[in-house]
Amino acid sequence: MTIADVQKILKAEVVCGNNLTAEVHNACGSDMMSDVLAFVKDQSVLLSGLVNTQVVRTAEMMDMLCVVFVRGKEPTAEMIELAEEFGIVLMKTPLRMFTACGLLYANGLHGGDKI
């Protein structure tokens, strides 16, 4: 699916970035950045309820294309500035983490791990 599909499925609002046609195949949902950094599986989308600049930096270190903030969390101006510098799309969804991850999974986005 594309980042635009992610936006549509999660009823999300794009906060910054315009690379919405990029294809994404894997995602990761966590508030612990070290857990995100522990498993490199070419995830392109990070879902998080954590709001600080390290979320954007972690996404950048992992070459991720999009960060979705759940429960309507608002990224700060500093985070938006950093995401624009890195070319990362930021969006926010009113959905909770479990629901957001479940919807994306049900629509074909996977976690990159074997089940």
Partner 1 sequence: MQMVCTVATRYEVNNLKLHYDVSGDDFTRAGEASGAIKATLKRLGFPADVIRRVAIAMYEGEINMVIHADGGVADVEIEPDLIVITLTDRGPGIPDVEKAMQEGFSTAPETVRNLGFGAGMGLPNIKRYTDTLTIDTEIGKGTCIRMTIAVPA
Q: Which residues bind partner 1 (CB under 8 A)?
A: 31-35, 37-38, 40, 48, 50, 52-55, 57-58, 60-63, 78
Radius of gyration of the chain, Cα coordinates, nearest whole angstrom:
12
What one-letter code names the amino acid at 5?
D
Q: How far is the CB of 109 from partner 1 (least distance, A)?
A: 21
Q: How far is the CB of 65 from partner 1 (least distance, A)?
A: 14
Whether the Cβ atoms of residue 25 and residue 44 lie closer than 8 Å to each other = yes
Whichever of 11 and 41 has its CB closer to partner 1, that residue is 41
Q: How far is the CB of 52 from partner 1 (least distance, A)?
A: 6
Bridge-based pairing of strands 89-92 and 13-16 is antiparallel
Whichever of 13 and 35 has its CB closer to partner 1, that residue is 35
Whichever of 26 and 103 has its CB closer to partner 1, that residue is 26
Q: Helix 77-86 to helix 53-61 angle, to the nearest 10 degrees?
A: 20
Return the H-helix or E-strand segment holding 36.
helix 33-38
Token couple for 72: 């309507």
Whichever of 54 and 107 has its CB closer to partner 1, that residue is 54
Q: How far is the CB of 23 from partner 1 (least distance, A)?
A: 17
